[in-house]
Amino acid sequence: MLEELTRAIEARGLSVGDRLPPEIEIARGLGISRTKVREALTSWQNMGIVIRNKKAGTRLAAEVVSNAIHLPLTLKIEAESMLRTHAVRRPLEIEVAGLAAVNATEHDRRIIMARVRELMASHTAGEDWRQADRRFHGALQHACGNPLFGQLIQQIQQGFNEVYEAPFGRPHIGETSIPKHLPMAEAIVQGNAEAARRLMAEILDLVTEEVRKVMVTINV
Amino acid sequence: MLEELTRAIEARGLSVGDRLPPEIEIARGLGISRTKVREALTSWQNMGIVIRNKKAGTRLAAEVVSNAIHLPLTLKIEAESMLRTHAVRRPLEIEVAGLAAVNATEHDRRIIMARVRELMASHTAGEDWRQADRRFHGALQHACGNPLFGQLIQQIQQGFNEVYEAPFGRPHIGETSIPKHLPMAEAIVQGNAEAARRLMAEILDLVTEEVRKVMVTINV
DNA sequence: AACAATTATTTTGTCAGACATTAATGCGAC
DNA sequence: GTCGCATTAATGTCTGACAAAATAATTGTT
């Protein structure tokens, strides 16, 4: 839905300050209900992309960038933005790994091992392991004892996912890092904070490396 | 709406993994329509706070922290989270200031000066200057030439605003930094990147300092 | 004619109700 | 006991109506 809206806006060449058609016309134009249009617009409103006023209608407050996968330029921009997000997350995730090694309860440890096993299984089965990955990292964030880390990371990632996830949604990104998850989980369960931090850093850097490769592939 | 839901959840003592009542019951309980409840839950879903499943219902995926101003402990947690957000934004905002000094067009420069004048006017008039402040920084982000900076900052801030803005919404936070905005705007308009970066850093650090003061006040 | 007050209109915001879809659960046949 | 089917309880979607607000138009007054 957000994607269709994005495409429609790009096709019209709308930019910051411009007004969108009334909700009901958008709905008719896309052949969906006003409910869905409103949901998408509310999401954009929360992200600060549009401003809504009663009689005045809805206006763009930020530039809308499509995640159309076929455009090399767009893909490159998205790769850069992903690297940036990653750079912000990196120190947080590392801290989470270290804290989890120290603070995890017995219950946390069981969940962490269960999640990492799910991740490995999902990966070896050739499925889309992204959700399993998210759950695994979620377990770490919960185990670290400070809910603020988890909230911060999730909000940074979440805001981006909605706009930027599509092109990198294909399962092969981050694949090299998967095998490192098991040793890291074990380090956390054993309470080895130093090893946990080091392995988390290695995992994140492998992902970064793979995104960079995609960029090169695209740019050449 | 989100606040009421937050309070209701706290009152019930729900924590991560627990299930919320069905939407229709929440609606009845709060005396509002299911539409509004769904809107609020969708917002939380986008922020990664709840997970929704058809038959299984809605479960908490992250701890919900009320922004009730009367609780010292909560306020302290929120102050910490604000400091963290600030630490993430700091390097980005500084980069934006530097880039804006180099890349701003004549049009951008006029807008920046207009916005900083609005900010000063709003402040001397004793009004709530937060929106003017946001517009000013938005102008800088637009002028810096790379829309990704603006999007990143806005999304980091936006995700937090919804949950954390209330307690620090009172206009006095950041007041000492306001007078520094005019010199910074001038530095940018004059193309002095170094000065722009330095002044932006000073502004951000003044805000940090004020948040710290609030924390001390609360903790003593 | 200029300006103020009032009315009309357009658009978002909210609501209620119905139905579709999905996934857990219970039950029965094998 | 286990597989499959029906049940069912929840979210997801659609429709239509009305409320609220802000702009636009119109009317009244000086």
Averaged over A101-123, what is the pLDDT?
Answer: 83
Structural domain ending residue among the three candidates B13, B36, B60 = B60
Confidence label for B24 from pLDDT (cuts 50, 70 and 90): very high
3-state secondary structure chain A: CHHHHHHHHHHHCCCCCCECCCHHHHHHHHCCCHHHHHHHHHHHHHCCCEEEECCCEEEECCCCCCCCCCCHHHHHHHHHHHHHHHHHHHHHHHHHHHHHHHHCCHHHHHHHHHHHHHHHHHHHCCCCCHHHHHHHHHHHHHHCCCHHHHHHHHHHHHHHHHHHCHHHCCCCCCHHHHHHHHHHHHHHHCCCHHHHHHHHHHHHHHHHHHHHHHHHHHHC
* Whether pTM exceeds 0.80: no
A67 assigned to some structural domain: no
Q: Could you tell me what percent of chain B has a pLDDT over 90?
A: 5
B67 assigned to some structural domain: no
**Candidate from A70-74, B121-125, B139-143 with smallest mean pLDDT:** A70-74
Averaged over B164-179, what is the pLDDT?
Answer: 54
Q: What is the pLDDT of residues A127-155, one digit of tens each?
A: 667 667 777 888 888 887 766 566 666 65
Residue B219 has what pLDDT?
Answer: 30
**Candidate from A93-97, A101-105, A116-120, A173-177 with smallest mean pLDDT:** A173-177
**Structural domain of A10:** 2-60
A66 assigned to some structural domain: no
Q: Does A160 touch chain B (CB under 8 A)?
A: yes
Looking at strand D, which nucleotides approach a protein CB closer than 7 A?
8-16, 20-23
Structural domain ending residue among the three candidates B33, B60, B87 = B60
Same domain for B12 and B81: no
Residue B68 has what pLDDT?
Answer: 29
**Candidate from A125-134, B61-70, B163-172 with smallest mean pLDDT:** B163-172
Q: Do the Cβ atoms of A156 and B159 come within 8 Å?
A: yes
> What ipTM does the predicted assembly reach?
0.47
Residue B56 has what pLDDT?
Answer: 86
B36 assigned to some structural domain: yes
Q: What is the pLDDT of residues B54-66, one digit of tens each?
A: 888 888 765 555 4
Structural domain ending residue among the three candidates A60, A87, A108 = A60
Residues of A within 8 A of B39 (CB-CB) are 39, 42
Same domain for A212 and A142: yes
By C1' distance from the Cα of A54, the closest nucleotide is C12
Same domain for A181 and A84: yes
B201 assigned to some structural domain: yes
Residues of A within 8 A of B158 (CB-CB) are 46-48, 159
Which CATH number fits the domain that encloses residue B40? 1.10.10.10
Nearest to B63 among A77, A85, A147 (CB): A147
Higher-pLDDT residue of B1, B117: B117
- Within window 30-69 on B, which residues have Cβ closer than 7 Å to strand C? 32-36, 39, 53-56
In Å, how far is A41's CA from the nearest CA of chain B? 11
The total of structural domains in chain B comes to: 2
Confidence label for B214 from pLDDT (cuts 50, 70 and 90): very low
